[in-house]
Structure 1
């Protein structure tokens, strides 16, 4: 049996962690625990759920999806949910063996190597920071509506920055406060989704269930598959967040067993909640053809006002705002743990600051500041060019999917080279099949996200998603050449595959 002080042999699968505590497991992987394991299984799941945030995702994209694909667009939740469940299963095996803070970056590091991990983490980091800015910016109009204030550009920016500051404050209070806030956010969002959904179905239902099989003219006379694929973006943009459960692996007791469960629950519960909310909205929209024709551009607001009145709609808006706050807070937690993990391994400029740890709050303060300041700069930039901000944000979901699939591909490569997962969660004989299916799903989803759908727009707008990905990867490659700190990092890497 390998000694716990030998990270390489331990991670190759020769060491039995079942009788050792979490600190010993982390020590065997080459790290000393600094975080406090104050995050319960319930809080860990809540963190993933609030990151996924079914209310934020559905309310934001419902009008687009309904107008593009008609009521059958709801089936995308089932299709995408199954695809992302496959990805979550692959991640579960990895995090069970390597429960290290930072998520996709340390996983790619152990499965492949330092350079591959650096690029995986870079893509994920940029995507997270952009997503944080898009969430708080998207909350601006809802905050204005909740308080009866006009949603001007300046007001939207001010509200977005205020929400970002509040999320940062919660994160700075430590894991225990973050965990409680995640549970509160989860509870408010789930109860709000159920109450709104049930009320719409009971008192404002306009259609029977058969409507989800009727496209009502969406897609025109062409092949409906293309219209459905475009509308399916509501599902594709919905199902990520489960990886956040693993981003805070060093803050969860017994992470090898509990985090895989939390990841799967995030998919199950989050997907079910999102599907239910979407179904309730579809069945309650009075004039679906008007939405498809483009004459009704904000069916959610119209529906909430009709169903709940001005006072009730405002209460619902406050619940929605809790969802936005919880989502931003969870995204920040994930981004800061990734930045801390980078800094701890000495992988990037500024590592000296990023790896610093507060002994009183038990959080990485400078990594958290990065997760606040970078999104703030993007939000403030909207003052000068809303169009530019839209282009920047277009990379967010694609970047997260790309980072996911880099890990999925690394896992498949490692399996073919002899990696046998040794954590507390294993897929057994189904591992390779699940891994291949997850990779195929991810590639198809990314093609769907990047596919040009505005032939009348300039080519750079038509290809903005793919173009933004090329730019982010290109900047990362240039940085790796100019400042190759990753090659000097002495932390363990490329040790999942047994060495002969």
Structure 2
């Protein structure tokens, strides 16, 4: 093959996809920067910081920020395993596709099922958490019903953008993350350099938060790690668009790594800046300030900054939802083209813009179906808790499956990304990290629930994961979709010849 003239990227990618058992149906037009933008938008430093800052400070004071580098390091271990898998099998619906090749159809289907619902319900929470900012822009106080209606509007808007194909999606997402990245970096640096109110010693001060919440220092920090992991998920959106990325076997692993590292750096910068620039961190610990990020920004820059900051947050949430919704649609498309998802014939449809329109409609319907939970704040809180646990569970299952396959000798990374003898150690550490995080998130804690929350919200992670898994197992037993997966998307014998050399 070395004597053949070099091929352009598109034919080579199409041949690689055909060797893996599929036709090129989506538009392959993303470069590495476009792929990075998908991962960056879903991880989203602004969305991630808002999701964890208030909870982190209220549980562990200023010392909560040290959970972030630990969570980032743990997720980088997951990216190492995902990079080897994505390089060898650059397919949309990575969790399902990889598990199928590593462990067989039954395990793969159930893994894909859990992952899909985790993403779709995460989209529900992103849309719901974005809606209050629309009202904040106009200084209005919304009712629960109004929040739900605006959330539906967010969903529909992002669906329409996604329906026009990957190029329009890339344009919107890139514009959003450019505004978000510039604004968040500039705000973080300004708060740290010009509006800092406290010494760096505050970063090791729990402000007596563990005693206030009735937990010990170690248990409080573990609770913060459970929450902090949410700020570093979503990099697998780069995998979702693998079949639309040029030279995907090489570029998708790069995109995952750079998306996670860049977001991690921005999140940690802003977390430290918010703690040190906040006028009264003790008020956050006491539950008197439920939005420490906005408080720190407006205290530093003045009240005039409130509206521009709201716009930045809205842009960030919108870009996050667009990219995540696109990832969910492509995951459903990957399952449906194998005929193993309910209503597969409709869900697998691709429109004239080469967008997975069937997956988009299905993902939007499922996400919107959960939005009425927003009429009750404790219910939407349960959905957020479930989404975090259900996201880390596939991380754990995939890294564990990959490790078992390595040790048995049934899988050796055969793509452009391979960590050689270090791969097994990195894989083992990724299993330990994700296993710890699954247990940590699912562990019922009253300190992670609102005061007076009902018992089912305290147990929401276990109940949610258990319910989705039970429904999936029921479908598996009744419909037996794993039978349809035999021979579908099978690799041709010359796959290894088409794959790049291992490095």
What is the TM-score of this pair, normalised by structure 1? 0.92
Shifted more, 99-108 versus 485-494: the winner is 485-494
Find the counterpart in structure 1 of residue 174 from structure 2.
Answer: 183
Q: Conserved in 2, the CA contact under 8 Å of 1:198 and 1:280?
A: yes
CA distance in 2, matches of 1:249, 1:232: 30
CA distance in 1, matches of 2:51, 2:341: 35
Offset at residue 382 of structure 1 (A): 2.6
Find the counterpart in structure 2 of residue 349 from structure 1.
Answer: 342
Q: Conserved in 1, the CA contact under 8 Å of 2:349 and 2:358?
A: yes
Find the counterpart in structure 2 of residue 60 from structure 1.
Answer: 51
Find the counterpart in structure 1 of residue 234 from structure 2.
Answer: 241
Secondary structure of the 1:21 match is: helix
Find the counterpart in structure 2 of residue 368 from structure 1.
Answer: 360
CA distance in 2, matches of 1:330, 1:215: 36
Counterparts of 1:311-326 in structure 2 under 5 Å? 311-326=304-319
Find the counterpart in structure 1 of residue 500 from structure 2.
Answer: none
Counterparts of 1:258-277 in structure 2 under 5 Å? 258-277=251-270
Is residue 165 of structure 1 aligned with residue 162 of structure 2?
Answer: no
Deviations 1:310-333, CA, capped at 9 Å, x for gaps = 432111110110110011011111
Is residue 417 of structure 1 aligned with residue 413 of structure 2?
Answer: no
Offset at residue 459 of structure 1 (A): 4.6
Offset at residue 308 of structure 1 (A): 3.3
Offset at residue 461 of structure 1 (A): 3.4
Is residue 210 of structure 1 aligned with residue 201 of structure 2?
Answer: yes
Distance change (3 Å), C-alpha of 1:111 and 1:307: same
CA distance in 1, matches of 2:277, 2:209: 18
CA distance in 1, matches of 2:358, 2:417: 33
Offset at residue 458 of structure 1 (A): 5.5
CA distance in 1, matches of 2:215, 2:392: 29
Q: Conserved in 2, the CA contact under 8 Å of 1:109 and 1:494?
A: no
Deviations 1:148-201, CA, capped at 9 Å, x for gaps = 222221221222122212211111111111112221122111111012212222
CA distance in 2, matches of 1:297, 1:355: 42
Distance change (3 Å), C-alpha of 1:151 and 1:82: same
CA distance in 2, matches of 1:389, 1:217: 29
Offset at residue 457 of structure 1 (A): 6.1
Q: Conserved in 2, the CA contact under 8 Å of 1:62 and 1:234?
A: no
Secondary structure of the 2:446 match is: coil
Q: Conserved in 2, the CA contact under 8 Å of 1:108 and 1:117?
A: yes
Q: Conserved in 1, the CA contact under 8 Å of 2:57 and 2:64?
A: yes
Q: Conserved in 2, the CA contact under 8 Å of 1:345 and 1:491?
A: yes
Find the counterpart in structure 2 of residue 433 from structure 1.
Answer: 425
Deviations 1:63-87, CA, capped at 9 Å, x for gaps = 1110101111111110011110010
Find the counterpart in structure 1 of residue 473 from structure 2.
Answer: 477
Deviations 1:276-313, CA, capped at 9 Å, x for gaps = 11111001111112221223333233333333334321
Secondary structure of the 1:125 match is: helix
CA distance in 1, matches of 2:288, 2:167: 48
Shifted more, 408-417 versus 337-346: the winner is 408-417
Secondary structure of the 1:297 match is: coil
Distance change (3 Å), C-alpha of 1:429 and 1:300: same
Find the counterpart in structure 1 of residue 458 from structure 2.
Answer: 462
Secondary structure of the 1:440 match is: helix
Find the counterpart in structure 1 of residue 488 from structure 2.
Answer: 491
Counterparts of 1:272-291 in structure 2 under 5 Å? 272-291=265-284
Is residue 452 of structure 1 aligned with residue 452 of structure 2?
Answer: no
How many residues are aligned here?
Answer: 480
Deviations 1:316-359, CA, capped at 9 Å, x for gaps = 1101101100110111111000100011111122111111111x
CA distance in 2, matches of 1:457, 1:327: 28
| Aligned counterpart for 1:396 among listed residues 387, 394, 414 | 387
CA distance in 2, matches of 1:150, 1:323: 21
Runs ≥4 residues deviating over 4 A:
17-20, 455-459, 493-496
Q: Conserved in 1, the CA contact under 8 Å of 2:21 and 2:491?
A: no
| Aligned counterpart for 1:379 among listed residues 359, 366, 371 | 371
Deviations 1:414-472, CA, capped at 9 Å, x for gaps = 21222111111111111110111000000111111111222986653332211211111
Find the counterpart in structure 2 of residue 43 from structure 1.
Answer: 34
Q: Conserved in 2, the CA contact under 8 Å of 1:111 and 1:495?
A: no
Q: Conserved in 2, the CA contact under 8 Å of 1:112 and 1:493?
A: no
Find the counterpart in structure 2 of residue 306 from structure 1.
Answer: 299
Secondary structure of the 2:282 match is: helix
CA distance in 2, matches of 1:449, 1:331: 22
CA distance in 2, matches of 1:391, 1:36: 37
Offset at residue 474 of structure 1 (A): 0.8
Q: Conserved in 2, the CA contact under 8 Å of 1:144 and 1:155?
A: no
CA distance in 2, matches of 1:320, 1:459: 32
CA distance in 2, matches of 1:165, 1:356: 19
5+ residue gaps in structure 1?
Answer: 2-16
CA distance in 1, matches of 2:111, 2:490: 14
Secondary structure of the 2:48 match is: helix
Secondary structure of the 1:31 match is: coil
| Aligned counterpart for 1:196 among listed residues 187, 191, 195 | 187
Secondary structure of the 1:426 match is: coil
CA distance in 2, matches of 1:405, 1:297: 32
Find the counterpart in structure 2 of residue 294 from structure 1.
Answer: 287
